[in-house]
Chain A
Amino acid sequence: MATGHEHTVKAFDQDIGQLRGLIAQMGGLAEQAIHDAMKALQRGDTTLAKEVRRKDKAIDAIEAEIEKLVVRLIALRAPMADDLREVIAALKIAAVIERIGDYAKNIAKRVPLIHSDGEDRIEAISMLPAMAQLASDMVHDALDAFSARDASGAAAVCERDNALDDFYDSIFRALVTFMVENPRTISQVAHLLFVAKNLERIGDHATNVAEMVYFAATGRYLADAEPGDAVES
């Protein structure tokens, strides 16, 4: 829906540009948090895990900044139509990215608990990075779709959520089997179940973001779109 036309009032374009910049920055930090939390988990790196928890404050700060900017933009510019949809989407997306950051932080929090002792859990951990990559890619692509106002890109993200859910189901079964076979690892591997659940939730949130992007771009709800509907960009 990008028309390429600029607003007669240039400051309006600057505000919108700043808003997109903040969302991109916030999304980048959230992706980094997922990535670092998983790296910390794999390596048992408690310092890096601590770093993830510390950096979450930066994500929260950007959310507050986006909220302020959106309130100011609505008050001063009275956005309409696609502008209005984008501004409202930005406000909601910021809240969702903040939640995604919290899930990453929660994964980081579990790192010292999982690595307190024992070696057996290494095998269990090895299942998770591929799932984390898929979840993180969904977040990345949903936010790319936002900055490009790309409805078809957003729809594609939603379609990947099923794959992530399947991933979660198979990891769940694998981890339960692992616990049955190695009962003394139960308390640690149970934490891995939560990690998998967190990744699954991140995928759900990425899907929410993608749905908001679709609405912002088209003015229609993705749920209302017929499968195979041509998506105008």
Chain B
Amino acid sequence: MNDATPTQHKMSARDVSVFYGDKQAVKNVSIDIDMDKVTAFIGPSGCGKSTFLRTLNRMNDTIASARVEGQITLDGEDIYSASMDVVQLRARVGMVFQKPNPFPKSIYENVAYGPRIHGLAASKTELDWIVERSLKRAGLWEEVKDRLGDSGTALSGGQQQRLCIARAIAVDPEVILMDEPASALDPIATAKIEELIHELRGRYAIVIVTHNMQQAARVSQRTAFFHLGNLVEYGETDNIFTAPREERTKDYITGRYG
């Protein structure tokens, strides 16, 4: 049906290892991330999943002792090459953290900041439009449209997290990395984030790290299980949670890990 050219993965990691000083936190991980999929990383604390996630937009660069080996490409381009502009990379590969971290500025400024520094808006009108579109995509617009001048930190935890997602979306990224985006939120706010992930799928490649297995099963199409720095199993989410191939995966998801 398709033409002969092989499908290009949005991001590909090949034999990626991460060291903190002498300690190897990620061991020879190879994985492909695709555009129309939500990919979940699961595994016990300290398994390397968050560390690996951070290699995908070079967040580990800021940690002096961290060293990354192997190759990671975005649209076929090596993101660790000398010619890669890291600021540009992080606009293309956005990130949302566990704890909502809005800037201590207005709701409007939180979202407008990125597009402004990246020069994405030619006018105030265009910037207004980007802010509105981003807040709408993040499912927050209706709740904040009448108080865009209020401080972002005055919002509830769930709203703050959606504000951070709006902020990530505002610079028109291609990939969004989420590191336990709902673990500090109540079930209702969590459901809103999950619904949002569902709506964002297709527009962005999404990678989510989560400790909540049900959440991984609900939001993702592919799941990767990490253990002691190794990528143990990577496959369709349906298969991972109903009939995993690896004993270690099974023990973990059925609550026998220990």
Complex Cα–Cα for A51 and B22 (A): 75
The one of B217, B241, B256 in contact with A7, judged by C-beta atoms closer than 8 angstroms, is B256
Q: A3 on the interface (CB 8 Å rule)?
A: yes
**Interface segment out of the listed A73-81, A186-194, A199-207:** A73-81
The residue in chain B whose Cβ has the minimal distance to the Cβ of A12 is B255
- Among A78, A81, A83, A219, the most chain B Cβ lie within 10 Å of the Cβ of A81
Closest chain-A Cβ to B247's Cβ sits at a distance in Å of 7
Are B254 and A219 neighbours in the complex by a CB distance under 8 Å?
A: no
Are A3 and B242 neighbours in the complex by a CB distance under 8 Å?
A: no
The one of B214, B241, B257, B258 in contact with A81, judged by C-beta atoms closer than 8 angstroms, is B241
Are B244 and A81 neighbours in the complex by a CB distance under 8 Å?
A: yes
The residue in chain B whose Cβ has the minimal distance to the Cβ of A80 is B253
Are B255 and A219 neighbours in the complex by a CB distance under 8 Å?
A: no
Are A80 and B254 neighbours in the complex by a CB distance under 8 Å?
A: yes
Interface of B is mostly: helix
Q: Which of A72-111 contact B (CB under 8 A)?
A: 77-85
Contacts A84-B242, A85-B242, A85-B243: A5 and B213 contacting too (C-beta < 8 A)?
Answer: no
Are B214 and A3 neighbours in the complex by a CB distance under 8 Å?
A: no
- The interface residues of chain B lying within 8 Å CB-to-CB of A80 are 213, 217, 241-242, 253-255
Q: A223 on the interface (CB 8 Å rule)?
A: no
Closest chain-B Cβ to A232's Cβ sits at a distance in Å of 11
Q: A229 on the interface (CB 8 Å rule)?
A: no
Complex Cα–Cα for A81 and B237 (A): 11
Contacts between the two chains (Cβ within 8 Å), count: 48
Are A82 and B255 neighbours in the complex by a CB distance under 8 Å?
A: no
Complex Cα–Cα for A9 and B254 (A): 10
Are A5 and B251 neighbours in the complex by a CB distance under 8 Å?
A: yes
Which bracket fits the contact residues of A?
10 to 19
Complex Cα–Cα for A233 and B99 (A): 44
Q: B250 on the interface (CB 8 Å rule)?
A: yes
Are B256 and A6 neighbours in the complex by a CB distance under 8 Å?
A: yes
The one of A3, A8, A218, A220 in contact with B255, judged by C-beta atoms closer than 8 angstroms, is A8
- The interface residues of chain A lying within 8 Å CB-to-CB of B256 are 3, 5-8
Are B251 and A3 neighbours in the complex by a CB distance under 8 Å?
A: yes
Q: Which of B33-87 contact A (CB under 8 A)?
A: none
Q: Which of B209-258 contact A (CB under 8 A)?
A: 213-214, 217, 241-244, 247, 249-251, 253-258
The one of A81, A218, A220 in contact with B254, judged by C-beta atoms closer than 8 angstroms, is A81
Complex Cα–Cα for A218 and B213 (A): 21
- The interface residues of chain B lying within 8 Å CB-to-CB of A82 are 243, 250, 254
Closest chain-A Cβ to B253's Cβ sits at a distance in Å of 4
Are A83 and B254 neighbours in the complex by a CB distance under 8 Å?
A: yes
- The interface residues of chain A lying within 8 Å CB-to-CB of B247 are 3
- The interface residues of chain B lying within 8 Å CB-to-CB of A9 are 255
Closest chain-A Cβ to B249's Cβ sits at a distance in Å of 8
The one of A3, A6, A8 in contact with B250, judged by C-beta atoms closer than 8 angstroms, is A3
Complex Cα–Cα for A220 and B258 (A): 27
- The interface residues of chain B lying within 8 Å CB-to-CB of A79 are 254
- The interface residues of chain A lying within 8 Å CB-to-CB of B257 are 8
Complex Cα–Cα for A18 and B248 (A): 25
Are B242 and A7 neighbours in the complex by a CB distance under 8 Å?
A: no
Complex Cα–Cα for A148 and B206 (A): 41
Closest chain-A Cβ to B255's Cβ sits at a distance in Å of 5
Are B258 and A219 neighbours in the complex by a CB distance under 8 Å?
A: no
Complex Cα–Cα for A97 and B218 (A): 33
In the complex, per-residue mask of B1-37: 1 if CB is within 8 Å of any chain A CB, else 0: 0000000000000000000000000000000000000
The one of B217, B242, B251, B253 in contact with A219, judged by C-beta atoms closer than 8 angstroms, is B242
Are B253 and A8 neighbours in the complex by a CB distance under 8 Å?
A: no
What are 27 A-B interface contacts by the 8 Å CB criterion?
A: A3-B256, A5-B251, A6-B256, A7-B254, A7-B255, A8-B255, A8-B256, A8-B258, A9-B255, A12-B255, A77-B255, A78-B213, A78-B214, A80-B217, A80-B241, A80-B242, A80-B254, A81-B242, A81-B250, A81-B254, A82-B243, A82-B250, A83-B254, A84-B241, A84-B242, A218-B243, A219-B242
- Residues of B at the A interface (CB closer than 8 Å) are 213-214, 217, 241-244, 247, 249-251, 253-258
Given contacts A8-B257, A80-B213, A85-B243, 17 further A-B contacts (CB under 8 A): A5-B251, A5-B258, A7-B256, A8-B255, A77-B255, A78-B213, A80-B217, A80-B255, A81-B241, A81-B253, A81-B254, A82-B250, A82-B254, A84-B241, A85-B242, A218-B243, A219-B243
